[in-house]
Amino acid sequence: MRILQVSAEIYPLLKTGGLADIAGALPAALLAQGCDARVLLPGFPAILAGLQDPVRVGSFGTPWGESVTVLFGELPAVSQGEHKVYGYVLQAPGLYDRPGNPYEDANKRPYADNHRRFAALGWAAAHLAHGLDPLWRAELVHSHDWHAALAPACLAVWNAGQGPRVPSVYTIHNLAYQGVFWPQNFGDLGLPGHVFSVQGMEYFGQISFMKAGLSYASHISTVSPSYAREIQTPEQGCGLDGLLRGRAGALSGILNAVDDTVWNPATDAHLPHRFDVRNLTGKARNKAALQAEVGLTVDAEAPLFTVVSRLTEQKGLPLVLAGLQEILSRGGQLLVLGNGDTQLEQAFALQAKAHAGLVAFKMGYDESLAHRIFGGSDITLVPSLFEPCGLTQMYGLKYGSIPLVRRVGGLADTVTDTDLETLDDQTASGIVFNHFNADDYRRAIRRAFALYRRRSDWNRVRQTGMRLAFDWASAAQHYTNLYQSLI
Ligand code: ADP
Ligand code: GLC
């Protein structure tokens, strides 16, 4: 099966969140399943720089009269051993040659021409399904998140005409980011007028890329079974729950996995000391090294709570702030790595200043430090308001840092709460709380301390987590079965 994966980010070339981790791991995992997968990406500088020996396969004109060249080559940084990942990259400097964040300017404002930048991506996918590269024609297009969500609409328009019908899968990584634009931009998209309708991509008078994906994809998937259910409710449907309920028969949740070549404490080159489930000596050393590195008091006994996250409303960070005293009064420490919302950045900076040695805040994005944090942390905090899947709780599990999460989305699907029953049957892997409020969260913090004091139980829970697979082979199998059913 020739499958084209379309996304705006790909680890390790360009990443703003979990989407990149998934887009970077899935192609090699599909190749390992015998699937002929290639990727399509916008030509951001970091992505073009990762394309080896590019050749020009063709070009196409955009609806607003710009010409986009499609380059092809291997992406060695994404390849895994014999599973070489080949990619098509759009060369359109006018659209993509901007440094920094791929979606917004230095003032954190979305680029005014984002609809054009990502419409080009959608049309490129449709062209690659219809012969732009004479040597390889996609039999199915699998696009990810709103940036790639126009692809199913472009394909549907093409499917209505001559030529082969090409099915599409659209994966929602986060329904909260929809790519909504003013209606006067519709003309730039090159789609027929009927697409701007309630049955198409019209969204409260505006145009929504997300909705285009949901309306036109042959199949919709999202990144955990729980989130697939939650987005069909008004609470989590972001205004699209009606549409999603209507498409429930073509909607499923496939749980994300962990890329073992990147996130494995036994081989992780970012860690000062490597370790595994049989020997956790390295873990203790990493904790001391981490405390020293970030300016926390080096103290083996103090439970170290950590957060690695975008600082946004989604991630439940106000709860982390509200529960800080609960951690400090019991002798714990808190380390936060993240950036985003200015108010949250300021609030954590303030706490770090007020509690030097006990609270540390590293503002920014630091891939290597993120690894060292999971390597040295005792408890990974993910108290999200909503969470399509969440990867950091899985990284915490793999690295022997017990996750403390809210029972929502993928967090509910990946972490088993610790109680007498789950301790007894050895399924307990973390601390899970139910309601998004400070009381429930604080209670969970107290339970984490209680578990920490019961060392043999603590070790057992930690070891259960470290043994969980979250392997890409089984996730990729789910995707290939899905593709098979659609082609
Ligand atoms: P989301 O995609 O919603 O941000 P995920 O948990 O799925 O959440 O994925 C987040 C990814 O981004 C993880 O790989 C995490 O380690 C990484 N990450 C988030 N913030 C930072 C940061 N400030 N520095 C380094 N890595 C980060
Ligand atoms: C999104 C979600 C996150 C998920 C990631 C990868 O960014 O917020 O929960 O893990 O995509 O699918």
Residue 301 exposed, middle or buried by CB count within 10 Å (0-12, 13-18, 19+)? exposed
Ligand 1, residues at Cβ distance < 6 Å: 17-19, 21, 308-310, 337-339, 365-367, 370, 389-392
Mean pLDDT, to the nearest integer, of 288-311?
98
Residue 227 exposed, middle or buried by CB count within 10 Å (0-12, 13-18, 19+)? buried
pLDDT in tens, 10-56: 999 999 999 999 999 999 999 999 999 999 999 999 999 999 999 99
CA–centroid distance, residue 223 to ligand 2 (Å): 7
Contact 227, 410 (CB under 8 A): yes
pLDDT in tens, 419-478: 999 999 999 999 999 999 999 999 999 999 999 999 999 999 999 999 999 999 999 999
pLDDT value of position 35? 97
pLDDT bin (cut points 50, 70, 90) of residue 100 is: confident
For residue 382, which atom of ligand 1 is closest to its CA?
Answer: 6
pLDDT value of position 108? 85
Cα separation, 376 vs 371, in Å, equals: 9
Most ligand 1 atoms within 8 A of CB, residue of 22, 313, 392 to mutate: 392
pLDDT in tens, 246-272: 999 999 999 999 999 999 999 999 999
pLDDT value of position 385? 98
For the chain, the average pLDDT equals 97
Mean pLDDT, to the nearest integer, of 351-369?
97
Give the ligand at the shortest distance from the Cα of 362: 1
Ligand 2, residues at Cβ distance < 6 Å: 17-19, 22, 173-174, 223, 256, 387-391, 410
Cα separation, 16 vs 262, in Å, equals: 16
Mean pLDDT, to the nearest integer, of 296-311?
98
CA–centroid distance, residue 161 to ligand 1 (Å): 41
Contact 381, 307 (CB under 8 A): yes
Rounded to two decimals, what is the model's pTM? 0.96
Contacts of 157 (CB under 8 A, 6+ apart): 126, 191, 192, 195
Cα separation, 209 vs 116, in Å, equals: 11
- The domain limits of the chain are 2-257+472-486, 281-467
Element (H or E) spanning 207, and its range?
Answer: strand 206-208
pLDDT value of position 426? 96
- Percent of the chain, pLDDT > 90? 97
| CATH T-level topology, domain 281-467 | Rossmann fold (3.40.50)
Mean pLDDT, to the nearest integer, of 327-348?
97
Q: At what angle do helices 472-486 and 18-32 cross, to 10 degrees?
A: 70
Give the ligand at the shortest distance from the Cα of 22: 2
Q: Is 2-257+472-486 a CATH 3.40.30.10 domain? A: no
Q: Which amino acid is at 347?
A: A
pLDDT bin (cut points 50, 70, 90) of residue 374 is: very high
Whether the pLDDT of residue 94 is over 80: the answer is: yes
Please list the alpha-helical segments (H only) found in 91-141. 93-96, 114-128
Give the ligand at the shortest distance from the Cα of 254: 2
Cα separation, 391 vs 22, in Å, equals: 9
Contact 59, 68 (CB under 8 A): yes
CA–centroid distance, residue 165 to ligand 2 (Å): 30
CA–centroid distance, residue 316 to ligand 1 (Å): 14
For residue 387, which atom of ligand 2 is closest to its CA?
Answer: 9
Q: Which amino acid is at 211?
A: K
Tell me the backbone φ, ψ of residue 151, rounded to 5 degrees: -55, -50
Order of strands across the sheet that contains 202-203: 180-181, 206-208, 202-203
According to DSSP, the residues that pair with 307 across neighbouring strands are 336
Order of strands across the sheet that contains 251-253: 52-61, 67-74, 86-91, 36-42, 2-6, 140-144, 168-172, 219-222, 251-253
Most ligand 2 atoms within 8 A of CB, residue of 223, 387, 397 to mutate: 223
Nearest-CA residue for atom 11 of ligand 2: 173
Q: What's the per-residue H, E or C state across 356-405?
A: CCCEEEEECCCHHHHHHHHHHCCEEEECCCCCCCCCHHHHHHHCCCEEEE
Most ligand 1 atoms within 8 A of CB, residue of 263, 391, 401 to mutate: 391
pLDDT in tens, 50-82: 999 999 999 999 999 999 999 999 999 999 999
pLDDT value of position 144? 98
Name the token pair of 139. 């039999």
Same fold, 2-257+472-486 and 281-467: yes
| Three-class DSSP category at 85 | coil
pLDDT in tens, 160-176: 777 779 999 999 999 99
For residue 227, which atom of ligand 2 is closest to its CA?
Answer: 9
Mean pLDDT, to the nearest integer, of 312-339?
97
CA–centroid distance, residue 187 to ligand 1 (Å): 35
